[in-house]
A = this chain, B = another copy of it.
Amino acid sequence: MNTKDKVLLAYSGGLDTSCILKWLQEKGFEVICFIADVGQDEDFEAAKKKAFGCGAEEVIIKDVKEDFVENYIWPSIQMGLVYEERYLLGTSLARPCISVALVEAAKSRGAKYIAHGATGKGNDQVRFEMCAYALFPEVKIISPWRDDDFCKRFQGRLDLIKYAEQNGIPVSAKPSAPWSTDANIMHISYESGILEDPNQIAPNNLYEMTKDPKLAPSKPYRVKIHFQNGLPVKAEDMQSMKTFKKPIDILKFLNEVGGLYGIGRIDIVENRFVGLKSRGVYETPGGTILFSAHQDLEVFCLDREIYRTKSYLRDSMSVYVYNGFWFSPEAVFTRKCLELSQEHVNGEVIMELMPGYCKPLARKSAQELYNQELVSMDVHGGYVPADATGFIRINSVRSTEFARAYGKYKC
Contact = CB atoms under 8 A, between A and B. Distances in A.
Contact of A385 (B121, B200, B214, B303): B121
Contacts of A146: 385-386, 388-389
Contacts of A333: 303, 306, 309-310, 340-341
B198 A276 contact: no
A199 B394 CA distance: 26
Contacts of A401: 275, 369, 371, 374
Given A309-B333, A329-B305, A367 B137 contact: no
A384 interface: yes
A266 B391 CA distance: 30
B388 A125 contact: yes
Interface string A375-397: 11110101111111111111111
Given A340-B337, A368-B405, A369-B401, A374 B276 contact: yes
A208 interface: no
A81 to B, nearest CB: 13
A343 B406 CA distance: 10
B398 A151 contact: no
Nearest to A136: B400
Contacts of A399: 130, 133-134, 325, 327-329
A316 B308 CA distance: 10
B325 A269 contact: no
A398 B267 contact: no
B387 A394 contact: yes
A393 B397 contact: no
A388 B198 contact: no
Nearest to A311: B315
Given A299-B269, A386-B148, A305 B276 contact: no
A356 B355 CA distance: 8
A161 interface: no
A277 interface: yes
A270 interface: yes
A220 interface: yes
A11 interface: no
Interface stretch (A30-38, A55-63, A357-365): A357-365
Contacts of A21: none
B201 A362 contact: yes
Nearest to A405: B369
18 contacts: A71-B411, A126-B391, A133-B392, A133-B393, A147-B386, A196-B375, A198-B370, A199-B362, A266-B359, A267-B361, A269-B370, A274-B394, A275-B398, A336-B340, A369-B406, A374-B401, A387-B390, A388-B394
